[in-house]
Structure 1
Amino acid sequence: MGTDAVAAKENIHGTMLRIHFAKIAYVTVSLPAFSLLFCFLSGVLFRFYDVNETVCKATNVIPSISAVTGILPQAYVWRICIGLHATPRFAVGIMYYNYYMERLRNISPQYQTLYRNLIRLNFWLYTIENSCLVGVTYISNKENYPIHEKIFIVFMVACNCYMLLNTIIYRWSREATMSPSEQLSYRIKKWMFIAIISATGGLIIFFIRHRFFCIPFAFSYFSACEYVIAYTNMTYHLSGYLEFQDYYFIAALVSPATETRNGDVITPLDGSPRKPLLRRRTGDNSL
């Protein structure tokens, strides 16, 4: 670009809050990860027979996620942690949408419309997944099983579709040669999707074996698949740290955009392009 190029800027000052994205990512993933571990261990140690009880009375030794998070006081811990972790995840969904839009330049012109539609779909799948996780948490299977079951099915469909589509978009939006960080993120996404789709297949098979044939230990295998799905999903979302490792969540004042041209600073008086501009040379403090 030549010397007449104009660079738009935003001045950020008066920062009240500045949090590195890495901290947000680790805390957001740690809340469900450790609360689920707490619910499982405490449920098995202190309420083993209660959490392993099944409708058809088949032998079961691994309780489901709904069972260990549906007893008290474990339900309180689980619901609090899911509620706390869900809010920043909605913000991350918007970040991912803008992140992919910025990479529109890497897409061939004939595919850009398709690319835009896919990242919109990707955003809504992510939002539905997060919303259903909140719903399935606060509407337990003991309180309203039909609603709980339907929300769980929508969650599983949205989760698997999002992970597949997001992995495809991630690779599509990259240059031909990816950086080491991008390669690591892509590998994590790819292998976590393979793991979760395999566990989902097992989940369906063992659910049928338990629900319709009441086979001993079938529900234990079903529950094991649930935990694989839960932790692979968390790991998949944690890989977002690699995309946003240089980003911060900031609460600050943002002044009107300024422009620089040939060493001069041009500042809109009120941020409106229709108003006259106050032109001041850099370093000149005179009024």
Structure 2
Amino acid sequence: MQQVPYGSVDRDKPLIRVPFTRLAVITVCLPLLGLVACIVLAMLYHYNDATYTHCQVPNYLPSISAAISLTPERYIWRFSIGLHSAPRFLVAAAYLSFYRGRFSRRLTEQLLSGFTFLLALSENVGLLLLTYVSSTETYSVHKSGFILFIGSSLFHMLCTCKLWSLIVKYSISSEEMMSYWFKLRLFLFNGGCCVLAVYFYRRHNTYCEEGIYTCFAVCEYLVVLSNMAFHMTAYWDFGGKEVMVATPPEGKHF
């Protein structure tokens, strides 16, 4: 076996090199496939338990909370979100660096960029909380995680759209224009689905009508799917970038 001298050129080559577009697709596909698997398994093997509510009226689809609280669905969801969360933190840091580069001399936008970064972290923490504490284990903690996730998600989308409205104001890039318009439309769609979900949830709890909880479940699916699609716009934002893991050059160890 050929020996390579310590500190040679080969040693300084990247250990891992992944296109950001591929990372974005993998990051979104993990929770998407996990969610689909949980809903399908709940419908096939735990239909009565997954669609049951305190009203005891017919429902036809499980809510996400119900689907991910059953076994083995909860383990599938926890596995997919566990793998998904680390790249989400990385993407949040990448956006913070991107915004700082774009708004290097504008204090207001710098502060908004930092606030957006904190919202991204809060959203991910809320997702982890509602994932690893199911509604059948500790409902109050699960509910708090869900509220944190939804609230942080909506404000994160709003702040992101504001930042991108300033970016495209002086941009001629077709990718940036497309990214902004998708972000804006997905934010409006997501907000509308959240309003409908709250309406159907309260109506179900108040009147116990048949099928209303199913309408809530559909809106809940759309909220989560539009959230995933919003984060998928990173595909355009970092299209030419790569994620690399490499050893630091000699003399630059910290």
* 1:276 match: none
* 2:118 match: 124
Q: Confirm or deny: 8 A CA contact 2:130 2:145 kept in the other structure.
A: yes
Out of 218, 222, 230, the residue aligned to residue 236 of structure 1 is 230
* 2:210 match: 216
Gaps of 5+ in 2: 1-10
- Cα distance in 2 for residues equivalent to 1:174 and 1:196: 22
- Per the alignment, do residues 177 and 98 of structure 1 end up closer, same or farther by CA in structure 2, a change over 3 Å counting? closer
Q: Confirm or deny: 8 A CA contact 2:34 2:77 kept in the other structure.
A: yes
* 1:114 match: 108
* 1:280 match: none
Q: Report 1:77-88 matches (<5 A).
A: 77-88=76-87
Displacement of 1:177: 3.9
Out of 176, 179, 183, the residue aligned to residue 185 of structure 1 is 179
Gaps of 5+ in 1: 1-11, 257-269, 272-287
Aligned letter for 1:174? Answer: V
- Cα distance in 2 for residues equivalent to 1:237 and 1:178: 22
More strand by share: 1
SS in 2 for 1:254: coil
Cα deviation code 1:114-169 (max 9, x no counterpart): 11111111000010001100110011000011111122112111110100110110
* 2:192 match: 198
- Per the alignment, do residues 177 and 21 of structure 1 end up closer, same or farther by CA in structure 2, a change over 3 Å counting? closer
SS in 2 for 1:191: helix
Cα deviation code 1:228-272 (max 9, x no counterpart): 00110000001012111111111113337xxxxxxxxxxxxx56x
TM-score in terms of structure 1 length: 0.81
Does structure 1 residue 153 correspond to structure 2 residue 152? no
Does structure 1 residue 245 correspond to structure 2 residue 239? yes
- Cα distance in 2 for residues equivalent to 1:206 and 1:178: 42
Q: Confirm or deny: 8 A CA contact 2:168 2:180 kept in the other structure.
A: no
More helix by share: 2
* 2:4 match: none
* 2:8 match: none
SS in 2 for 1:206: helix
- Cα distance in 1 for residues equivalent to 2:237 and 2:213: 38
Q: Confirm or deny: 8 A CA contact 1:100 1:173 kept in the other structure.
A: no
Displacement of 1:175: 4.7
For the aligned residue pairs, the C-alpha RMSD in angstroms reads 1.7
TM-score in terms of structure 2 length: 0.91
- Cα distance in 1 for residues equivalent to 2:113 and 2:68: 33
- Cα distance in 2 for residues equivalent to 1:203 and 1:73: 26
Deviates more, 1:43-52 or 1:125-134: 43-52
- Cα distance in 2 for residues equivalent to 1:219 and 1:243: 37
Out of 214, 217, 220, the residue aligned to residue 226 of structure 1 is 220
Number of equivalences:
243
Cα deviation code 1:164-196 (max 9, x no counterpart): 110110121335243111111112101110110
- Cα distance in 1 for residues equivalent to 2:171 and 2:111: 25
- Cα distance in 2 for residues equivalent to 1:136 and 1:43: 18
* 1:36 match: 35
- Cα distance in 1 for residues equivalent to 2:200 and 2:160: 28
SS in 1 for 2:13: strand
- Cα distance in 1 for residues equivalent to 2:12 and 2:101: 25
- Cα distance in 2 for residues equivalent to 1:52 and 1:174: 45
- Cα distance in 2 for residues equivalent to 1:124 and 1:78: 24
SS in 2 for 1:18: strand
- Cα distance in 1 for residues equivalent to 2:171 and 2:54: 54
